[in-house]
């Protein structure tokens, strides 16, 4: 995992002009400054690597959506040739050869995209919801609430992750649903820590104080004023969580605790473990390639987002 603690310290200070824009609606400012978001977008669009990654992410998402709605590779489970046919260019389906049952490895890898992307997305959302909510509450209210939440996540994070995952999948039974929950319920801790720290910094800032003096309730101060100002951290963390979840799904499926019955890159690599003995490398290659590209893209994107959203780097193009 990348080191999120450093990212938090880099990106804490919100530019004063941005704040004025948000808080001060009365007077139009003659020279309109760019908001954090439009500035970030401008900087991101200049970064070719990041743009490519974004496009890759888009393509994967599209593929996942299309496989999910059965528009493409709905016939992945059909045999298209003999068992373990090597890769060939004769037929697009044979690009990565066939598996033990003569099914197209390419189709399986594409079908695996659906599993991977859904795991990334859903795990990301679960962790963000839990992490942000608990982090914000702990940071904002402090005291006993904070202590309880901190105790909870410290305890949770002191249990080796893989053990926890195995325990959860054993309780819930195996399947994709368990993978979502198992990963979602264990991966929120880092985000929770970051948000807690950020909210602590922000809650005494002037803009929050002014909201308070205008009579804003606690909930309004937290969710309307503070959260939007730390939301860039959530986005960065989300992109990192996304790829961690994908990798974890592959590992879980590899050790037989992941998805059952539909192709996953993890089960493909698990198959490859045996097949390599007979010189069948294409299933491993396809699964690794598909995973490599998306994980790399998400990593680059995560870094680019961090740079783009860091106000300290503003203007250093």
Partner 1 sequence: MHLKKTLKSLFKLLPLLWLAACFTKEGEDKGMKVFHYPVAVKIKGIDPIQADDLYSGTEVSRVYDGLLEYHYLKRPFTLQGNLAQDLPTVSDDGLTYTFKIRPGVHFHDNKCFKNSIGRELVADDIRYTFMRNADPKENSKGWWMIDGKIKGLDDWRKNPDYSQDIEGLKVIDEHTFSFTLNEPFPQFLYALAMPFSFIVPRECVEHYGQEFLNHPVGTGPYTLDTFNQSNKIVYQRNKKFRDKFYPTEAAEEFVKRGLLKDAGKKLPFFDKIVVEVMVESQPRWLKFQDGKIDFIAIPKDNFSSVLTSEMELTDEMKQKEIELLIEPSQDVSYTAFNHDLPLFQNKKLRQALAMATNGDEYNKLFFNGTALVAQSIVPPGLAGYDEKFQNPYRQYNLEKAKKLLAEAGYPEGKGLPEITLDGTNSTDARQMAEFTKMSLEKLGLKIKTIQNPWPELQNKIKLRKGMMHSIAWLADYPDAESFFAILYGPNGSPGANGSNYNDPVFNKMVKEASTMQDSPERTALYTKMNRYIAEEVPVIFELHRTSVVVQHAWIKNFVVGDFAHDRSMYINVDTKQKERLLEEKF
Please report, as ranges, the residues that interact with partner 1 according to CB under 8 A. 77, 83, 100-101, 173-175, 256, 260-261, 267, 270-271, 273-275, 277-278
Least distance from partner 1 to the Cβ atom of residue 107, Å: 14
Minimum CB distance to partner 1 smaller for 81 or for 142: 81
Least distance from partner 1 to the Cβ atom of residue 90, Å: 24
Dist. CA 255–CA 175, nearest whole Å: 13
Least distance from partner 1 to the Cβ atom of residue 280, Å: 8
Least distance from partner 1 to the Cβ atom of residue 267, Å: 7
Minimum CB distance to partner 1 smaller for 178 or for 239: 178
Minimum CB distance to partner 1 smaller for 67 or for 178: 178
Minimum CB distance to partner 1 smaller for 186 or for 267: 267
Residues 6+ apart with CB under 8 A from 54: 44, 297, 301
Least distance from partner 1 to the Cβ atom of residue 266, Å: 11
Least distance from partner 1 to the Cβ atom of residue 102, Å: 10
Dist. CA 317–CA 307, nearest whole Å: 11
Nearest alpha carbon to residue 118 among 270, 292, 294, 286: 294
**Please, what's the largest Cα pairwise distance for the chain?**
75
Least distance from partner 1 to the Cβ atom of residue 276, Å: 8
Minimum CB distance to partner 1 smaller for 115 or for 130: 115
Minimum CB distance to partner 1 smaller for 8 or for 283: 283
Minimum CB distance to partner 1 smaller for 1 or for 100: 100
């Amino acid at each position: 995992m990348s080191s999120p603690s450093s990212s938090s310290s880099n990106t804490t200070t919100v530019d004063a002009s941005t704040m004025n824009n948000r808080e001060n609606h009365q007077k139009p400012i003659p020279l309109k400054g760019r908001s954090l978001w439009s500035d970030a977008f401008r900087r991101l669009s200049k970064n070719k690597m990041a743009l490519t990654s974004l496009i890759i992410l888009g393509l994967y998402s599209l593929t996942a959506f299309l496989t999910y709605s059965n528009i493409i590779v709905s016939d992945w489970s059909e045999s298209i040739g003999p068992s373990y046919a090597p890769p060939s260019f004769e037929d697009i389906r044979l690009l990565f050869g066939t598996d033990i049952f003569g099914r197209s490895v390419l189709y399986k890898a594409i079908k695996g995209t659906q599993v991977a992307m859904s795991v990334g997305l859903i795990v990301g959302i679960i962790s963000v919801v839990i992490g942000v909510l608990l982090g914000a509450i702990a940071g904002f209210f402090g005291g006993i609430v904070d202590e309880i939440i901190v105790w909870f996540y410290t305890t949770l994070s002191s249990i080796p992750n893989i053990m926890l995952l195995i325990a959860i999948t054993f309780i819930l039974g195996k399947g994709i649903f368990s993978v979502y929950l198992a990963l979602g319920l264990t991966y929120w801790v880092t985000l929770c820590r970051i948000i807690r720290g950020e909210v602590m910094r922000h809650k005494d800032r002037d803009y929050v104080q002014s909201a308070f003096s205008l009579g804003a309730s606690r909930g309004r101060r937290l969710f309307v004023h503070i959260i939007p100002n730390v939301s860039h951290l959530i986005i960065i963390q989300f992109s990192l969580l996304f790829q961690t979840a994908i990798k974890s799904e592959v590992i879980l499926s590899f050790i037989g605790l992941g998805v059952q019955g539909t192709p996953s890159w993890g089960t493909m690599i698990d198959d490859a473990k045996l097949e390599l003995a007979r010189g069948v490398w294409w299933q491993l290659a396809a699964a690794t390639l598909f995973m490599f590209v998306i994980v790399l893209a998400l990593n680059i994107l995560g870094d680019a987002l961090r740079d783009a959203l860091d106000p300290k780097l503003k203007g250093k193009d």
